[in-house]
Structure formats: C-alpha cells, structure tokens
Chain A
Amino acid sequence: MDRREFIKRALYYGTAVTASIFIPGLSKLNPLNKIWAKSSSKDLVAVKGSTPAKMFDKGIKVLGGISKFVKKGQTVVIKPNIGWDVVPELGANTNPDLIGRIVEHCKLAGAKKIWVFDHTCNNWKKSYKNSGIQRAVNLNGGKMVPAHKESYYHSVTIPNSKTLKKAKVHELVLDSDVFINVPVLKDHSGANLTIAMKNLMGVVWNRRYYHWNGLHECISEFPLYRKPDLNIVDAYNVMIQNGPRGISKEDLVLMKTQLISEDIVAVDTAAAKVFGRKIGDIDYISLAHKMKIGNKNLEQLNIKRITM
C-alpha cells in the first residue's frame, strides 16, 4: 500500500477504536474487535468435572472473559431453557446457578441492562419460579422478563431461508446489543436432541409453524436472522431419556460437562457427541452446516479441553 492508503487506514482504525471505547454500542463497528476475538480465543471450550458456575468461570477465561463479548454500557439478553414447570433437580431447564453466574459476569463487565426470558411451554410464572432461574437472576442484578404475550413479538424476515421465511421474534432479541444463548442438553422426542439451535425456538412466538412446515429446516434456518454472540451448553445433569420434559430423576445422568462456543453448529455437534448420538441422525446440524451457519467438523476447530 502507498502512503495515502496507510494514512487513511490508520485514521480509520484509530477513530474506530477510539470511538468504540467512548461510545457504547458502537463497539460493534470496531473492526479490531473481530481480529482480537479470532486471534486470542479458541473456537470451542469444553470443561468437565465441576459445578456449572465454576466450570463457566474457567471456561470463559479461556475465551478472554465475558468482557470480550459484553462491553461496558451494553444491553444483554440471556436466553436459558426455562420451558417447563419443573424443579432444577429434574434437569428439564438450564441450571439456575449457571444463569446466575453468567448474569454476575455480565454485571461485572459493566452491562447496562441484563434481561433474561424464555417463551415457556408450561405456565410462564410457574416455570420462571420453580426452575430457580428467577431467583438466581434477581440475586445477581439481572431482570426476568415475561414472554407469554404475542405483543412482545415482532415480525421479521429471515434472509436467505427456504422454509422459515418469516417469524415473530421477541423484541429483546431484536433490540439487545448482546445475545447469549444458554441451552440445557436433553433428549427430545420431536427433534432428537435439544441443544443450542433448538433452544432458539424459545425466542419466537409461533412454534407450531416449525412443526407444521419442517421442524429441522426451521430450527436450522433461524440463526440466519441472528446468531447468538455466545452459546453456553449446560451438560451438567443431562436428561438422556423421556425428554424434553422428563418423568423422573431416573431420566438423568450426571455428566458435569459444559461447552462454550460462538459457533452454534460446532457446540451442537460437540454436545451430541457428549450425549452419544450420531450426528447424522440430527438433521438440523447437517442443514445448518450446509448453510455455513457454523462448522460441524470438529477436527478442523481449535478446541480447548479442561478437566477440573
């Protein structure tokens, strides 16, 4: 490059970097963010052998801490799995301690607002309460938000999709700066396994549309609208049968695992392997890989494995 190019680029990068520090929300424009992210962190972090909260502490450190994803003054929306009116011991929802710890990290990183919600399957008030997640969120300075009324959802077009052309998406997913997806790994009678991509069904209003038009196609196409900035798969106490609701604690196996990645396809693939299912049986993973939403070939990825 010649001198002019160099001066132009230096001015651009310099202004962008300076601006992103002082003006919250503009950090998305900072091109250096992407470069930093790529060079320092792994594609997938797999942790094993401790409690969900402690595993998250260790895991997120490898990726550079939550401040790599949440800048000061940003709004964060966290989407756990709070589908069922069931106590934490029965493993049907994301572990509440994990959610509490994630909220705490975001708070320390300087997030302006931390919202947490799910479009529950059972009664939302009971699910929020009995899952223990409402309490964990409130204790750590976040806010539980209702998602039970259609008026909270707004219609958006899904770009480049074939089956899921439009969807009504919860306003917080449309408005928030950072979108953190925290699913729980479970057997699932409709979709085979529910992990990160399936968890995103909880941000749309009309889930019946998915079943009626092609469940796996719709699940794989939703990330075309917005990919979560970070996916944290809770595989601590895993429901290996009778999912997604489960009948009793005999359905659970204590695997004490956690997977963290920005790549939603990679984290789903890794979780399926941890579960012991064949990737070929789970259509939405192959479909999403084909659409280049993520990479299911884990051998091509930079993985950090931690046993605690």
Chain B
Amino acid sequence: MKKYLRHIRIIVSSIIFLLFIHTFMNIGFDTPIIRDFLLSLQVLPVWIKMVVSHFSFISIPLILVLLLTLIFGRIYCSTLCPLGTFQDVIISINNDIQSKKKYKYIRIKKSVRYIILVLVIVSIFLGYMVFISLLGPYSIFGRIMTNILKPLIIVIMNLLSKAFNSFQLYLIPQFQIHHISYPVLLFALLYFIFIVIMTYFRGRWFCNHLCPVGTILGSISCHSFYKIHFTENCNHCGLCENKCKAGCINSKNKKIDLDRCINCFDCLSVCPRNGLEYSIEKKKIDLRKRKLITGILLPLFSAFLLPVKSFSQMLTKSRKLIKKNPITPPGSKNHDHFNSTCISCYLCVSSCPNHVIIPTMFKYGIKGILQPELNYSYGYCSYECNICSQVCPNHAIEPISIKKKKLIQIGIVNHIKDNCIVYSKNLPCGACSEHCPTKAVYLVPYKSLEAPAINTKICIGCGACENICPAKPNKAIYVEGNKVHKSTRRPKKKQRRFKKDSSFPF
C-alpha cells in the first residue's frame, strides 16, 4: 500500500493543479463548481472571508482541511496547494535535466516561520494585506499564473492554432493576450526565478521557511494520527534523506521533523527495506501543546478577539493621496474594505470577460500593493456581468446579484467639452451615449448637432463611455472613482407615444 501513496499523491495533485490552471485560464467553458471547490480549500482566503464577515459563518471546508492535517499530516501541501504542486513540477523538471538530486537534512530556525505567522495573523486583524499578498501561496501562484503562465500558454496555443490552420484543420481557436502590466510582470518573474533557485538547492524551502499556511499546518501535523516514522528495519542507508525535498529526514538519528514533512511520500517509495512506515504511531503525543493551539485555535477564533473595522480604519487615515481615485470592482463596497481584504491573487483579473480589471503595483499605496483596479483604457464593466464578485475567494469583492449590481455607482462620469468631438470639431458623435447602458449620458441639441449631457444620479461608473470615446489624444469623457460606492436610482422608463400606422408610409 505505501508504495502507492506517492503515485496517488501525484495523480491527485496533478488533477487539482490542472483544474487551477483551467480556472485561471478562463477560456472556453466556465466551471463555477470546480472553481468554488478549489478556492474553498485555500486556507488564507477562507480565513480572511470568515474574519471579514465577523464570523457570520464557519467554513466547513477549512475545518476539513485542518482535520485532514490533524489525522493525516500536511496532505494539503502536496495535493491541494497550487504553489506546492507548482514547485513539485519545477523540481521534477530539474531532476530530469540533471542527475538525481540528493537532498540533506537541514536544521532550521523555527523563529522566522513563527514571526511571519504572527505578522500574518495580526495583519488579518488590522486589514493590512501586504504580507498575505506577498507570502500567501495562493496569491503567489495566482500572480505567476496570470502574468507569466497564462500569456505563455496563449502564445503556444496560438502557434499551434496557426500550424493547424495552415493544414485547413481548424481545431484550435486563437486567443488574445489582454493587457500586460510590466512592473507586475517583473515582480512575478522575480518570484518565479526565486522559486526556481530555491527549489534547486533546497526543494520545498518556501513551504517550511516562509509560507504562513505551512507554519499553521506544520504545527498541527506534528501531532497527527498518521505519521511517517522509522521502523527497526532501517539501516541508516540515507536514501530517504537524499530524496526528502523538505529536508526533514535525519537518517542518522532515525528522526523526522514532522512539522516540516509535506507528505509527498517520496521517502516511502524509495526505501528498499521497509525502514519507513506511514501509520498511527503507538507513542505518547508530544506535550508541546502550544503549537497545537497556534495551529488550530488562533486562526478560527481570532476574529472574536479584536474588532476588525476600527483598527483598520485607524491605520487608513494616513494614506498616500492619489491624484485620481482608482476604481474598485462593484461589490467591493469601498476602498477601505477592498484594501483590507484583497490578497492580489488576480482571479478576478483572469475571470473578467471584458478584461477591464488589471493588476497594479502601487495604485493604492503600499497598503494596497499589487491590488487590482478597473482601468477603462482596456475595457468597460459589462452591464449584465457580476463574475468578479462570484469568483473572489475571500470576499474582497462581495457576491452580489446582477440586479443589485446595476444600481451600484463605483464612479461618476465627467465630461470635458474641450476634448469632445462635437464641441471642438463640430462633427456628430455621441458614441458615449450609444454605449451608456443607463443613458446617464444622453444627447441634447447643440447648434445643428447633438452633444453629450450627463445625469450623474443614474450613472453607475461602468466606463463604457470612457472606453469608447474616440477623441484623441485625450478622452473627452471619463469616470472618476468613488472611494465609497454609492447607490443610484433606476433609470426612468417612459414610453414615448407612437402613432401606429395601418398602412405603409410610402
């Protein structure tokens, strides 16, 4: 049985990883059930979601992940974590390129991991998402996927498509790469290079030195029921230690640091003489209970300890002034809520069908590092769409119905007469009014033409006007973001009387 654990792990983690890639690629067909399933198992986003909702619900999947770790160990790290599987892929590519890598047992200073964990927990109270964005495994994977892998896959698919098409085999459609944010791409590339280097030397170094989820699950897994442990058959040959990508096996002393073991089961497969076993150990449980408390209780009950809102509000008063307010997606309520909840995973960026949500570096200041905004140079917010609010795993964008979304004002339209084709060139236009879904932008007579006028009470800030405005070099109509989203009135539905003719008018 234990020989197959490694194979099972590889199959399950591959399936989950491919599903993640499919979710972020967002081409072809939508699979909301798969997406929600994958996201419900990610520890940090779900925890943030619970805290933000002031524990109006307890996430069952999160409890299941913690229970899974308590019973079986850090299975999450080798199967459900997208960054974990990503590192495993790089490690196996490394192994194919060069001769078999030999790992060694490493001793680590546990203090660094726990300092980071405390920082992350405090951050979630204070609504300061910087450390979670930078160190959370799901966020890191989301950014690598959106900025590097997705464009790469599209380029490869387009090449294949062209090749097939030249043989009249129209099997693969072509896709576009929408908007590349170069600073963010560079940032993601740095992470990518860092991961390649660290996995080459130390395997799953990130998982055991920096990753806050690894620290939480590690503090639970050292008390797990099923453990990997040595048997009397072991003769200290060290094959398992050479294989261990977590560097947690001390073959000389026949000890395994279970808090760093990521349950990849490679050691079980490589041992030639049944020196290792994965079973319930008949030993007394370690008495260092405080690790258990850190692992399970703190995450679950942290929200009861401190009021989230007031602390985060205190910190936000000293924010850097931005000239033009960035625009946050409908459902994010206001900038405070968004900045104190978004972990920059870019699933909204990947899922937006109009490609209007884009990554930014410092648009919201340091506090909002990497958090995305709506940029109407690249698209506009579709009137009949609420997808970003449906995909956000930790409710930085809260789920809202399409009906309610049509009444949220995320920004207000402004018209600049000097740039407008009608006013400055005396030519007919009206493209802004054409696209306005509420007719907040409408036309009034101006000389022999018709010129745009605005009703800000029904404007929802969707940006269709700004996006389509053909004025050069600067747009004549644009949306200024609302720091706090407002509600609008429904557009008036009046019917003009029309005389119906029974005969033809010609």
Contact = CB atoms under 8 A, between A and B. Distances in A.
A85 B384 contact: yes
Interface string B441-465: 0110000001000000000000000
Nearest to B494: A250
A305 B429 contact: no
24 contacts: A46-B504, A46-B506, A85-B382, A85-B384, A123-B353, A123-B385, A126-B353, A126-B382, A151-B174, A189-B430, A189-B434, A190-B431, A190-B433, A209-B470, A211-B431, A215-B428, A245-B436, A247-B491, A248-B491, A255-B500, A276-B499, A276-B505, A298-B506, A305-B504
Interface stretch (A67-75, A173-181, A225-233, A236-244): A236-244
B353 A125 contact: yes
A278 B159 CA distance: 52
Interface of A: 46, 48, 85-86, 121-123, 125-126, 130, 146, 148-149, 151, 188-191, 208-209, 211-212, 214-216, 240-242, 244-245, 247-248, 250-251, 253, 255, 269-270, 273-274, 276, 283, 298, 303, 305
Interface string B372-389: 000000000011110000
Contacts of A255: 500
B429 A274 contact: no
A291 B491 CA distance: 41
Given A125-B353, A250-B493, A215 B433 contact: no
A247 B470 contact: no
Contacts of B354: 123
A36 B506 CA distance: 26
Interface residues of B, number: 40
B437 to A, nearest CB: 6
A245 B382 contact: no
Contact of A273 (B442, B443, B506): B506
B495 interface: yes
B382 A121 contact: no
Which 4 A-B pairs have CB atoms at the shortest separation, nearest pair first? Answer: A190-B430, A208-B470, A189-B433, A211-B470
B31 to A, nearest CB: 15
A245 B496 contact: no
A241 B496 contact: yes
B221 to A, nearest CB: 44
Nearest to B352: A123
A190 B443 CA distance: 9
A279 B498 CA distance: 18
Contacts of A276: 498-499, 505
Contacts of B365: none
Given A85-B382, A305-B504, 4 more contacts: A189-B450, A191-B428, A215-B428, A250-B493
A241 B468 CA distance: 21
B483 interface: no
B176 interface: yes
